[in-house]
Chains A and B, each alone.
Chain A
Amino acid sequence: MPAPRHSNQRQGLRWLVRAFSILSCLALWQFASWAHLNLGALTFRNVPPPTEVVEAAVVLFKSPKLLAHIGSSLARVFAGYGGAAAVGIGFGFAIGRSRTASDLLLPPLELLRPIPAVAWIPLSILIFTSSELSMIFITFVGALFPIILNTVHGVINVDRRLLDSARSLGGTRLAILWEIVLPGAAPSIVTGLAIGMGTSWFCLVTAEMISGQFGIGYYTWEAYTLQNYADIIVGMLVIGLMGMGSSWLLTTLGKVLMPWRRPAVTR
């Protein structure tokens, strides 16, 4: 059914307002940089204007450095986050399904959980022989807890009646785990994975700023130390884009893996 025309017009108007909002922010920024706006506690003296940032971005996007930086960041996230996903979902299942596993695994995890992953940086540099491994570890720790906790939550909250039904229909323990508990907990697991992805990027960028050689966090920090101020903002934007991309990936994955969550037709 086509929407009424006035609602279409209103939609168009709303998009116009949104575009205007973004453009005014850019304009304010441009003005503040151009005028070296100084508000006492806050100064734009060293902040490059958007035009310079765009120029720097073009330079970076043309150079091979970009791929190297993004590549090493992605490799770290892939290793650390991937490990956290595997361990987190595995532990989450064990804790959620078995009292013994819960008593065995949960106490140390509960003790470690309040420590922010970033606080692990100095110790992990001491523990791991390569800075590469220590950065991967920080990324791992950052993602681990949200994934474990959400998996446990999902596993525990699978509807009892579904489990009873499955048992009544002849489901074995293992089959119930695979056919009922896993899909039943899937929405919660995906939520955990999404939160974990956010913290994972956050931790990675921080770790790279401290001990990196390559990577997008390192690039951003290097730009600061070398006083390439426009590159700082380019780095920030790239970090933002990669975060956006990975959360889009997860949302899409969730939709593909859980088609029953948004069926096309309803009776």
Chain B
Amino acid sequence: MSADGAAAGNGRGGRIHVNNVLIALGEGESAFQAVSGLDFAVEPGELLCLLGPSGCGKSTLLGALAGHQIVTGGTITVDGEPIDGPSPDRGIVFQQHTLFPWKKVRHNVAFGPKMRGVKRAERLHAADQILELVGLSGFKSFYPSQLSGGMQQRVEIARVLINHPRVLLMDEPFSALDAQTRSRMQEVLLDIWTKIPTTTVFVTHDIDEALFLADRIIVMSARPGRVIEDLNLPFARPRRPDLVTEPEFVRLKRHVMNLLRHFGEAAVTT
């Protein structure tokens, strides 16, 4: 990063407070509690993984953080401000296919600045810079459909980070990728996150992924999702790919697997 200074702009990101949150979905007889009694904080610049079985409400919680989902009970605040609808301050990256198919890569990335009224030359310059950071300089004038899945996710990350969000939300962003691309993308993400430190909440059902990426993992139970363990990871950064074979990694993995087997009735795939 050069003059743009996304990192310098707002320090290390926002502090998230999740206070006794309950989210109920559905209506009438089919209503159910997606998550209940959630209570935790995410420190500025922290990379937190929400880990849990499918249907444990972790994506629902992320939707609430993004402002797309209304909270039934409790409060969520970022830097003390309650969440009131979606905002570029809380950028979200979905699993797949949310790039605008009709916009070329650099115009997808420049969308946020365009909405803020940034001049064309200026926003395209910013887009080019951040595309360089995610390693896609050569693909500026491609349409999303011309890119591989991993490349598309890089564009998604760039499109969110160009807004200098206080919080980066990621909803199983790599789960649709093949195993090799996925681990490559995990390294790419850590690399970007080191260059632009941002409070990050990363939702996944993949234990290896959570252990490899996170400073801290919150393990959730099956529906209604509750916190069953809040785990600080001791691994140093930068993380190397062979981390996954170290004894401590394997020990923690076994520990988390046991937790999920106990509290998550749904099968957990790794």
Contacts and interface: CB of A to CB of B under 8 A. Distances in A.
Nearest to A259: B143
Interface residues of B, number: 31
Contacts of A179: 100, 111
Interface stretch (A14-22, A72-80, A122-130, A169-177): A169-177
A169 B102 contact: no
A209 interface: no
Contacts of B163: 169-170
A263 B102 CA distance: 10
Contacts of A28: none
Interface in A159-208: 159, 161-162, 164-172, 175, 179-180, 183-184, 186
B111 A166 contact: yes
Contacts of A165: 92, 94, 98, 100
Interface size class of A (residues with CB under 8 A): 20 to 34
Q: Is the interface of B mostly helix, strand, loop or mixed?
A: loop
B119 interface: no
Interface stretch (B13-21, B145-153, B172-180, B257-265): B145-153
Contacts of A167: 68, 85-86
A168 B66 contact: yes
A260 B145 CA distance: 8
A34 to B, nearest CB: 56
A109 B90 CA distance: 42
Contacts of A183: 100, 102
Nearest to A167: B86
Contacts of A172: 115
B124 to A, nearest CB: 16
A143 B44 CA distance: 58
A25 interface: no
